[in-house]
Amino acid sequence: MSAQTPARIAFQGELGAYSHEACRTARPDMSPVPCATFEDAIDAVRRGDAELAMLPVENSTYGRVADIHSLLPQSGLHIIEEAFVRVHINLLALPGTAIADVKSAMSHTVLLGQCKSFLAGHGIKRVTGADTAGSAKDVAALGDPSMAALASELAGEIYGLDVLARHIEDQGNNTTRFLLMSPQADHTRRGAHGMITSFVFEVRNIPAALYKAMGGFATNGVNMTKLESYMVGGSFTATQFYADIEGHPEDPPVRRALEELDYFTNMIEILGVYPAHRDRN
């Protein structure tokens, strides 16, 4: 790559999506590469069409982002960083439009459900769109002042829409956590706010296997901040778990806990060892 060509970062969605906002926050010097699906964003990195991928994993209001945890182990990529984006929802419309002119608002169904009070108070009907930034793009192309979009301010800037109302979400702490994915692992760094180790594992088919597997983290004083299960291949018996713990695998307590976990599992795969973000606390 020439010195004049900026590095690229892939994300799912249209330009102006909250994932795009996460890219701008975490890597403002990189060129964004919009992709139709999470798989496409991962493949863009694997093909060399992008150096990094930004993937959402969970939202403080709606929980886990569907399919992400099952995609990560097969991605061939490594978590090198986490990012947090405060999801501010804005009412966007054609330039010169007043709120009183708006009869309907388009957005992803999740966002439509996050600002019910505002929409009901202004008598605005909800219209389901493919995604947030895509809805802003559609509203700009439609040219109808009675149709608005619910999206980020970034989407308004990109598609030439006015912000009629800012931060209209019902909950004031709605935040999405993202993971920055790279083809190369980097376990050498130490973060100012601590470290996070993310991994997946599958317990052995023995009585109380999960309870026994978790015992090593308790006895070694390792804090597990997330533990989620998901089925593999549609099988009720092949359950895997995704976990985040505080600490680095080279830390003696973490090393001992992972060694004990290994005894009770069929598989452990480290997905990433990366600095904890300051916004985590």
Cβ neighbours for 74, distance < 8 A, ≥ 6 positions apart: none
> At residue 75, what are phi and psi to the nearest 5 degrees?
-75, -30
Structure tokens at 64: 């886990």
CA pair distance 136, 14, nearest whole angstrom: 10
Query: Which residues participate in catalysis according to the annotation?
Result: 176, 178
Would you call 66 exposed, middle or buried from its count of C-beta atoms within 10 A (0-12, 13-18, 19+)? exposed
Structure tokens at 162: 């006015």
Pairing of strands 235-246, 195-203: antiparallel
Alpha carbon separation from 242 to 24, 78, 177, 231, 253 (Å, rounded):
27, 14, 15, 11, 20
- C-beta of residue 75 within 8 angstroms of C-beta of residue 55: no
